[in-house]
Chains A and B, each alone.
Chain A
């Protein structure tokens, strides 16, 4: 049944070709460092009278204090709670009244703040960003308010949801050895509640100076205008010493870890399988990115065709690189495959199926036609992601923070294009091996109970797996 489609796919491919020259897209990247250490990036595009702005700080979950899990993210919320100059509410309403929109997010290696708006709002936006880089309004009311809001965020995204983020929160806790990499970045309620104004003050002082930040502006502005505005609003903010970070690198794992978790809210079982991936800048990074797309990128991927179709054991297959992307990390990270599987199947069957697909690649590599298709989609997706000015600014700012070079935005397509079948084989054999893998089988509580009841008459053990607790 599967042979005909493969043949047809081959025919389709020969016609659809790869990215033609008309599909090329290079973005202007202009970079300047201010005297206080703030790196400024401007990418001009006059097609819309709007701008995207991103301020990225080189601090994330890995650097938060040990007894303050979730602090980097809580702090992100506090950045919207006002300053002595612009009290609570001013930040959001100024951007709203300027016709714009804003947000922020926290990841292991960075925290970003993004705005997009008509170009007429650019100066107020830069003023607001500079204002909160200088100082915050430290007060117990806003701290308490945002502790409550963050707890509601955790309830809505983790505690009140089936699966509760186990594919990124729990799996990191088991896959990594070092605290920086394996603690819960959302944090415990206890740690969140214990956060004090002194903590807020210290974190802002240590990590939120201009020399630990990158500002990017994309859209309706020239580089000269952008640099001048950056100087005008940020130039007088003094640089501040940044604490020396610890070494949070760690080697690949040498023994497979598997555990089972009980989920009180789920009705359908799920599995997450995660492998540690090469460090940023490794020659294996691009091959792993292409491999992830080959295995799990969309309906044409090997896992979708092999598990959802084909064997018909999974409902979906997603791949992820922590909470970021294959290009936006700067410390130990996982490539994770997440799938809901059918209650009449099993985690063993899903793993076996994945292993079979992986083994085929290890043995035979990837045929040219398939590799070309995968790369073509990746290049198109990369372009698509950069269409909006705010994503464009944000991507450049993040790449500057993580790679020290915003122009990586224009290099990634070439890196993808350069990946060969043997690169992928090498990456598979090095990283996608069982010894480097961590697996969580997350089962509905009712399924586990039923299995126990069924096993009881024979006095058999409930299973050799390590039963993990729900992460609450």
Chain B
């Protein structure tokens, strides 16, 4: 029942901006107060002899430690073409048994420390997250290391995970958002592994415990891993725990090759995914984007914010607040290590499917042709800066942002430099990158909905391939 649920998660600072940027300040409303300087987190850094990078950010505040272990090259991009979504199974199985404990013992140990430990997959890596009460810092470090280094992939757990994954896939496929995302990724990334991060029945069935063990051995390597430690712990203590738990970790075998660069010359697609009886159309517009470390990334992040990053973004203001077509609409850049994509999306009622696409294209065209007014620029820059302060308030988000940046190739300094860089972006830069990356003619369109209600409305947008998948 929240006022708005963003349809899309947008990288790092997801943000917002403005149609009523031109509305006058109400009489009597106080001005903003004095800005306080933005503190950049102090990060202590060490590289262990085995190549593991360790960053420590001690903090006061709540009595908890947070650990994030990011393993680069272990994610979806490392999955073979026939094993799409495998990284998800690999990540999920890590805490289902180790050389020393079974899954129940792991769950109970974490519970007893007032915390949890689990892993999640991303395109560019697998990330383990762990936290515990401050008094349990050493015990949780050991548990996380055990899970990262000595997972045992027990046969019974693998069989259960496969059976459950097949059912979970059936559940996912009933959700229009899942089907829309799967299709737009495929349309934009074509054959690149970023385009196939969802499992299939075949890829789930093919998983074996041996495969999990072999892939774990190949993908989990200290020289491709970063450990971030933050919370109520000293730098010295954190480094000591890291060395004790990971100092003797050795890589085995040859490292996997780096992820190939995404090709950008893909031809825009038109796909209508059949969902008979659907009372809404789920829309996605997508086109090739850029890598997280590419030159255009800073102006593109701000452009995404202005166009489609929050309540006051142009897209949401138009489709929700002016037209009432949707509960929430968004658009923006997603950036990975070897490439990225632009994605816009909303769920709209059937009758306004064509009209919603029209408004999307109108906004895409406008931001690529007219310069954004100074007040709207300013509002969005302040929103990004505020988002930075707010996310730095949470120790888990500091740790996970540092790790996520590292995975996609951004240095630790990026966290502190991001806001000052955003503040230098000009309206001309916004127009230039918007024209380049949100060009209407480059957008693939995916619609999940009831074809009988949509055929006429979609006609102006070209010939749609109608399919069940």
A contact set with B: CB distance below 8 Å: 1-2, 4-6, 8-9, 12-13, 15-17, 19-20, 22-25, 47-50, 73, 76-77, 80, 85-90, 92-94, 96-107, 116-124, 127-128, 131, 144-149, 151-153, 155-157, 159-162, 185-186, 220, 264-268, 298-300, 304-305, 308-309, 312, 315, 323, 340, 342-343, 372-374, 376-377, 379-381, 383-384, 386-389
**Chain A residues within an 8 Å CB radius of B176:** 160
User: Which residues of B in the span 339-362 have a Cβ within 8 Å of any Cβ on A?
Assistant: 347-349
B107 within 8 Å of A (CB atoms): yes
| Chain B contact residue count (CB 8 A cutoff) | 100
**Chain B residues within an 8 Å CB radius of A379:** 114, 133
B462 within 8 Å of A (CB atoms): no
**Chain B residues within an 8 Å CB radius of A380:** 64, 114-115, 132-133
Q: What separation, in Å, do the CA atoms of A389 and B61 have in the docked complex?
A: 12
Q: What separation, in Å, do the CA atoms of A41 and B104 have in the docked complex?
A: 42
B383 within 8 Å of A (CB atoms): yes
Q: List 30 A-B contacts (CB under 8 A).
A: A5-B102, A9-B109, A12-B101, A13-B109, A13-B112, A16-B139, A22-B135, A22-B232, A47-B61, A77-B3, A87-B23, A90-B20, A92-B312, A94-B29, A96-B16, A97-B21, A99-B383, A101-B386, A118-B386, A124-B29, A127-B30, A148-B325, A153-B327, A155-B280, A157-B327, A162-B171, A186-B1, A315-B167, A380-B115, A389-B393
Tell me the smallest distance from the CB of B468 to a CB of chain A, in Å: 13
The residue in B15, B160, B382, B395 that gathers the most chain A C-beta atoms within 10 A of its C-beta is B382
B45-53, B220-228, B316-324: which lies at the A interface? B316-324
Known A99-B385, A104-B3, A266-B171; further 9 A-B contacts with Cβ < 8 A: A9-B109, A50-B389, A50-B393, A80-B3, A149-B321, A151-B349, A159-B279, A323-B1, A379-B114
Are A267 and B312 within 8 A (Cβ)? no
Tell me the smallest distance from the CB of A426 to a CB of chain B, in Å: 24
Are B29 and A149 within 8 A (Cβ)? no
Q: What separation, in Å, do the CA atoms of A373 and B113 have in the docked complex?
A: 7
Residue of A nearest to B379 (CB): A97
Are A19 and B62 within 8 A (Cβ)? no
Q: What separation, in Å, do the CA atoms of A380 and B114 have in the docked complex?
A: 5
Given contacts A8-B105, A315-B167, A315-B168, contact A155 B133 (CB under 8 A): no
Are A100 and B102 within 8 A (Cβ)? no
Q: What separation, in Å, do the CA atoms of A147 and B394 have in the docked complex?
A: 36
Residue of B nearest to A152 (CB): B327
B18 within 8 Å of A (CB atoms): yes
B33-41, B253-261, B409-417, B439-447: which lies at the A interface? B33-41
**Chain B residues within an 8 Å CB radius of A118:** 35-36, 385-386, 389-390
User: Which residues of B in the span 173-220 have a Cβ within 8 Å of any Cβ on A?
Assistant: 173-176
For the complex of A and B, list the 9 residue pairs with the smallest distance between their C-beta atoms, beginning with the closest: A99-B386, A89-B20, A380-B114, A148-B324, A20-B135, A97-B379, A299-B107, A49-B36, A300-B107
Residue of B nearest to A144 (CB): B324
B460 within 8 Å of A (CB atoms): no
**Chain A residues within an 8 Å CB radius of B347:** 152, 155-156, 160
Interface string of B78-120 (1 = CB under 8 A from A): 0000000000000000010000011111011111111110000
Q: What separation, in Å, do the CA atoms of A376 and B131 have in the docked complex?
A: 13
Tell me the smallest distance from the CB of B292 to a CB of chain A, in Å: 23
Which residue of the partner chain, among B103, B136, B232, B311, contacts A96 with CB atoms under 8 Å? B311
**Chain A residues within an 8 Å CB radius of B132:** 380
Are B33 and A123 within 8 A (Cβ)? yes
Q: What separation, in Å, do the CA atoms of A151 and B327 have in the docked complex?
A: 8
Are B324 and A387 within 8 A (Cβ)? no
Given contacts A149-B326, A149-B327, A300-B107, contact A15 B139 (CB under 8 A): yes
Are A90 and B114 within 8 A (Cβ)? no
The residue in A80, A127, A300, A373 that gathers the most chain B C-beta atoms within 10 A of its C-beta is A300
B17 within 8 Å of A (CB atoms): yes
B164 within 8 Å of A (CB atoms): yes
Q: What separation, in Å, do the CA atoms of A120 and B379 have in the docked complex?
A: 14
Tell me the smallest distance from the CB of B399 to a CB of chain A, in Å: 13
Tell me the smallest distance from the CB of B218 to a CB of chain A, in Å: 27
User: Which residues of B in the span 63-84 have a Cβ within 8 Å of any Cβ on A?
Assistant: 63-64
Which residue of the partner chain, among A20, A88, A149, A153, contacts B133 with CB atoms under 8 Å? A20
Are A309 and B168 within 8 A (Cβ)? no
**Chain A residues within an 8 Å CB radius of B18:** 89, 93, 96
Interface string of B216-246 (1 = CB under 8 A from A): 0000000000000000100000000000000
Q: What separation, in Å, do the CA atoms of A354 and B33 have in the docked complex?
A: 56
Are B63 and A120 within 8 A (Cβ)? no
Tell me the smallest distance from the CB of B305 to a CB of chain A, in Å: 10
Are A160 and B312 within 8 A (Cβ)? no
**Chain B residues within an 8 Å CB radius of A299:** 95, 103, 107, 110
Q: What separation, in Å, do the CA atoms of A381 and B132 have in the docked complex?
A: 10
B387 within 8 Å of A (CB atoms): yes
**Chain B residues within an 8 Å CB radius of A159:** 279-280
Given contacts A105-B2, A162-B175, contact A384 B62 (CB under 8 A): yes
Q: What separation, in Å, do the CA atoms of A298 and B110 have in the docked complex?
A: 10
Q: What separation, in Å, do the CA atoms of A376 and B317 have in the docked complex?
A: 44
Are B108 and A93 within 8 A (Cβ)? no
Are B324 and A152 within 8 A (Cβ)? yes
Q: What separation, in Å, do the CA atoms of A147 and B175 have in the docked complex?
A: 24
Are B379 and A93 within 8 A (Cβ)? yes
